[in-house]
Structure 1
């Protein structure tokens, strides 16, 4: 089908026109009678949406619009439509990113955060459908995706930002669900970062993934299963403080390896299984030698820390 006729109004200089176009867009996307939007028309639609957000100039307006745009993913009647719209978002974001001036960059970081959160909500509602999760992972790591390890056109700042927020937003999405979701399949959802860590040509990117994705998550999974007396003083104080926010508390208590239907897995066991996955990926021929050494070292150090004799 063709792009909706109001698409050109999304980037209008007039705020009232833009607001009206967003409301029309929401109604359009929620109509399950619509045919799928073609690739070329999705590109046109997202160019309009991207510059609609560009025009928003006050913090509260920006925050409201970012949430409104991300919530569009949740109004669609099929997960395939949501993922198609999401692919359009990421393609537009990567395409336009280097043209964003310094003063606007923070609000686009916020928009990315909102979309990551909404995506986890969509996938959770689908009961972490394997095909849907795999499609999402392909959107992130395929050619032109924000976590594509081999595409030198991808701005590194996008991969860094996703590393910083990914697990945090997964935890938030689980906590905000109106009813409990099936356990989040971490081996599946972390696949883009396993791939990026294994195949990135830069040591800085690998370091960011390990320090901001793997280590905080492994620490949270480990502390959830350790007896209180065996924990470091800082972790012990946090667990004893009723007002302290435990890292990734909702995620740690509602996660599994890769089969949500089998139920959640205890943190220490899940940590070992994820470390084993890192070891397996390090052994693959596509993994760069520099990454392989670091991934083996991460596995060895982490399994020694928990007293495991895996190897």
Structure 2
């Protein structure tokens, strides 16, 4: 007599239990003949690198959106192989495929399965190396899909789609960091994000896109810090984002803050971007002032942002606030941010950090030598044109005995 399993007794790993259940189910079920035939034909065309017709792409998208897990899994594996081996993918065809990927993620159940699929989809942004155009097209197709479908996500599935967006933002920033913040990678990738955020100001789409813009704004600084801290050793500091790159990444949020009619979105930009950057940067500088007494884990928080050019940022905000076309309620919020950024700029003057200066380095735990960071790419942008591009070594900033002390007005941000 075989062993019987007690009702309610589950395995220690829910994800493995769910996978075993799907495997047992797959042994008893077969794919529908029509889908099996379409996928087999498509797989042969993908292997031979042949052009795929629109009708074939539509069938592929339907396979990705199938309610059957095995059909979705096989189509997704073929899709990954196709992207990794392609040098160019039509944007229209990729958008159709992303429609299927959207519903593939929609059908995923159980939190472990959802997280695994979200990581699998987002990792393609940072890992596609055959052609940068494919990674860019894939990233933009994802943003277009989220803009189009965000208003149709119900409250029961909102959490998992927010997690998907967070992972894709992380993957986008990770790709920039891997390529040392090169303008050829940073500019086209972040232009897609800029276009997405500015859709929140569209009268016809404002209600649907505002929620997506709120979420992206909330996770931006945290994910940028996570990217810079990845690969960090025990006695190492995170990588530093060059000042010009950081200014370019923050620019879309500045435009939203200055032009949006949604006070919730404006408030979120102030709290989640400007206030958080100022708080982390100020706290990091205070820890570095302690010298040998500063611990790596204390200094590392906010270290990626120490090259922020607060003075230039304040000037740009003041120019926008002085523009007669700026709404009064936006102008009041901009002046609040200017006061905050000027406090950070005042603090940076005491450190000798001028425009475009490199990040300070701090003594190691044993006081032997300062920690140096890897080379970073520094460039200036105006109207999306690259004017200056070179590599710069991190230098040690020597502080005089009369170094500037933290201001009392900065205490509430640090």
TM-score past 0.5 threshold: yes
Separation in structure 2 between the aligned mates of residue 69 and residue 218 of structure 1, nearest angstrom = 33
Map of 1:86 onto structure 2: 139
- Report whether the alignment pairs 1:276 with 2:315: yes
Matches within 5 A, 1:263-302: 265=307, 270-284=309-323, 287-302=326-341
CA distance in 2, matches of 1:304, 1:71: 38
- Tell me the residue number matched to 1:9: 63
Do 2:278 and 2:344's aligned partners in 1 also have CA atoms closer than 8 Å?
no
Select 1:62's aligned residue among 104, 110, 114: 114
Within the candidate set 281, 285, 299, 1:225 is matched to: 285
Cα contact 2:311–2:345 (8 A) shared by 1: no
TM superposition shift of 1:241: 9.6
- 2:262 is the alignment partner of 1:202: yes
Q: Distance in 2 between matches of 1:10 and 1:61?
A: 16
Supply the distance in 2 between the matched residues of 1:116 and 1:300 (Cα, whole angstroms).
29
Contact kept, 8 Å, 1:26 with 1:75, in 2: the verdict is no
Q: Does 1:150 align with 2:208?
A: no
Matched, 1:118 2:176: no
CA contact (8 A) 1:7 1:45 kept: yes
Q: What is aligned with 2:99?
A: 47
Deviation at 1:54, TM superposition (A): 0.2
Q: 2:148 maps to which residue?
A: 95
SS at match of 2:176: helix
1:167 deviates by 0.7
Decide whether aligned partners of structure 1 residues 128 and 242 sit closer, same or farther in structure 2, where only a CA change above 3 A counts. closer
- Cα drift, residue 279 of structure 1: 2.8
Q: CA deviation at 1:287?
A: 4.1
Q: Please identify, of 196-205 and 279-288, the stretch whose mean Cα deviation from structure 2 is larger.
A: 279-288
TM-score, normalization: structure 2?
A: 0.61
Shift in Å, 1:161 = 0.8
In structure 1, the partner of 2:379 is none
Question: Greater helix percent: which structure?
Answer: 1
Cα deviation, residue 78, structure 1: 2.5
> Compared with structure 1, are the counterparts of its residues 304 and 115 closer, same or farther at alpha carbon in structure 2 (3 Å cutoff)?
closer
CA distance in 2, matches of 1:178, 1:229: 22
Judging changes above 3 Å, is the alpha-carbon distance between structure 1 residues 191 and 79 closer, same or farther for their aligned structure 2 residues? farther
Greater Rg, structure 1 or structure 2? 2
1:24 paired residue number:
78
Q: Highest relative contact order (Cα 8 Å, sep 6+), 1 or 2?
A: 1
Cα RMSD for the two superposed structures: 3.2
Could you say which residue in structure 2 is the equivalent of 1:183? 241
Task: Provide closer, same or farther for how the CA distance between residues 173 and 285 of structure 1 changes in structure 2, counting only shifts above 3 A.
Answer: farther
Q: CA deviation at 1:177?
A: 4.6
In 1: Cα distance, 2:198 partner to 2:126 partner? 23
TM-score, length-scaled by structure 1 = 0.79
Q: Find the counterpart in structure 2 of residue 162 from structure 1.
A: 216
SS in 2 for 1:183: coil
Contact 1:71–1:118, Cα closer than 8 Å, also in 2: yes
Once the two structures are superposed, residues 163-209 of structure 1 have per-residue CA deviations (whole angstroms, 9 ceiling, x without a partner) of: 11111011111222589867352101111101111111122211111
Distance 1:62 1:157 in 2: 21
| Cα distance in 2 between the residues matched to 1:170 and 1:205 | 20
CA contact (8 A) 1:221 1:271 kept: no
- Indicate if the aligned counterparts of 2:220 and 2:273 stay in contact, CA closer than 8 A: yes
